Amino acid sequence: MKSLEELKAIREKMQGQVGLRAEDDTVTRVVVGMATCGIAAGARPVLAAFADGVQKKGLTNVMVTQTGCIGLCKYEPIVEIMEPGKEKVTYIKVTPEKAEEIIDQHLVRGQIISDYTIK
């Protein structure tokens, strides 16, 4: 990102794809940590990869959101997946490429990628 205009363009693109709060407890929430530490570690492209991937797959029961500090800065970018009736899964050191795998394996097939989770 090199300018305020580029940041505004990203914001406008994401507003249509990213929900600010999940109020429906039947929806799976994908929460990307977007505090300073997360952004510095590459959370923006990760957020974009999840938003784009969920939209491309037509996953209408999945809401991609963002949050501030999750509290595990050394593991950023961090993504938490909260599925109704299931335990929260925390993925660490997520890249856009890992995001694609998480979408395919976890969100579509229901298989947690334990190699990417916090131990």
Task: Classify residue 66 by its DSSP letter.
Answer: E
Least confident interval from 2-6, 18-22, 69-73, 106-110: 18-22
- Distance, CA of 101 to CA of 99 (rounded, Å): 5
Chain-centre distance of CA 95, in angstroms? 10
pLDDT value, residue 15: 62
Query: What token pair was written down for 58?
Result: 């037509």
Q: What pLDDT, on the 0 to 100 scale, is given for residue 17?
A: 54
User: What confidence tens digit (pLDDT) does each residue in 55-92 have?
Assistant: 999 999 999 999 998 889 999 999 999 999 999 999 99
pLDDT of residue 5: 81
Q: How many CB atoms neighbour CB 56 within 10 A?
A: 10
pTM for this one? 0.78
Domains of the chain with bracketed CATH: 4-116 (3.40.30.10)
pLDDT, position 89? 96
Q: What are phi and psi of 83, to 5 degrees?
A: -100, 140
Q: Tokens at residue 13, please?
A: 């693109």
119 is written with which tokens?
Answer: 């131990």
Q: Could you read off the pLDDT of 17-51 as tens digits, one per residue?
A: 555 444 567 899 999 999 999 999 999 999 999 99
**Which tokens is 56 given?**
């491309």
State the pLDDT at residue 20: 47
